[in-house]
Chain A
Amino acid sequence: MEKRYYQPEIETMPAEKLRELQSQRLRRQVKHVYENVPYYREKMREKGIGPDDVRGLEDLAKLPFLSKADLRDAYPYGLLAKPLSECVRIQSTSGTTGKRVVSGYTQADIDAWEECCARAIVAAGGTKEDVCQVCYGYGLFTGGPGLNGGSHKVGCLTLPMSSGNTDRQLQFMVDLGSTILCCTPSYAAYLAESLKERGLTDKIRLKAGIFGAEAWSEEMRRNIEKDLGIKAYNIYGLTEMAGPGVSYECEEQQGMHICEDQYIAEIVDPVTLEPLPPGSKGELVFTSLTRQASPLIRYRTKDICILDDTPCACGRTHIRMSRPMGRSDDMMVIKGVNVFPSQIETVLLEQGYPANYQIIVDRADNTDSIEIRVEIPGESFTGSLATVTEMEKQLTAAVKAMLGIYAKIRLVAPRSIERSEGKAVRVIDRRKI
Chain B
Amino acid sequence: MKNIYQLSAFMENRKGQLSDILSVLSEHGIDLRALNVAEVSDYGVLRLIADDPEKAQRALTEAGFVIAVNPVFAVAVPDRPGGLSELLQLLAADGVDIDYMYSVFGHKDGTAYMIIAAKNMQTMQASLDRNNIPAADSLALGI
Contact = CB atoms under 8 A, between A and B. Distances in A.
Contacts of A416: 12, 64
B45 A383 contact: yes
B45 A412 contact: no
Interface in A379-416: 381-385, 388-389, 410-416
Contacts of B70: 382-383
A231 B40 CA distance: 47
A312 B1 CA distance: 62
A407 to B, nearest CB: 14
Interface size bracket, A side: 10 to 19
B42 A411 contact: yes
A356 to B, nearest CB: 13
B69 interface: yes
Interface string B65-79: 111111000000000
A265 interface: no
A286 B67 CA distance: 52
Contacts of A414: 64, 66
B10 interface: yes
Interface in B40-84: 40, 42-45, 47, 61, 64-70
B69 A415 contact: no
Interface string A351-390: 0000000000000000000000000101001111100110
A381 B40 contact: no
B3 interface: no
A378 to B, nearest CB: 5
Contact of A383 (B42, B61, B64, B69): B69
B99 interface: yes
Contacts of B40: 385, 389
B93 interface: no
Contacts of B8: 381, 383-384
Contact of A384 (B65, B69, B99): B99
Given A412-B12, A416-B12, A381 B68 contact: yes
Interface residues of B, number: 21
B128 to A, nearest CB: 21
Contact of A413 (B6, B65, B69, B99): B65
A222 B51 CA distance: 47
A384 B45 contact: yes
B92 to A, nearest CB: 20
Contacts of A410: 42-43
B12 A388 contact: no
Contacts of B39: 385
A364 to B, nearest CB: 17
Nearest to A415: B64
B49 to A, nearest CB: 13
Contacts of A389: 40
B16 to A, nearest CB: 12
B9 to A, nearest CB: 9
B116 to A, nearest CB: 14
B46 to A, nearest CB: 10
A385 B65 CA distance: 15
A119 B120 CA distance: 60
The CB with the most chain B CB atoms within 10 A, among A378, A381, A383, A415, is that of A383
A381 B60 CA distance: 14
B64 A385 contact: no
B12 A385 contact: no
Contact of A378 (B42, B66, B69, B99): B66
26 contacts: A376-B66, A378-B61, A381-B66, A381-B67, A381-B68, A382-B68, A383-B6, A383-B8, A383-B47, A383-B68, A383-B70, A384-B99, A385-B38, A385-B44, A388-B10, A388-B43, A388-B45, A389-B40, A410-B43, A411-B10, A411-B12, A411-B42, A411-B43, A413-B66, A414-B66, A415-B64
In the A-B complex, the 10 residue pairs with the closest CB atoms: A383-B8, A383-B68, A381-B66, A385-B45, A378-B66, A383-B70, A385-B38, A412-B12, A381-B68, A381-B10
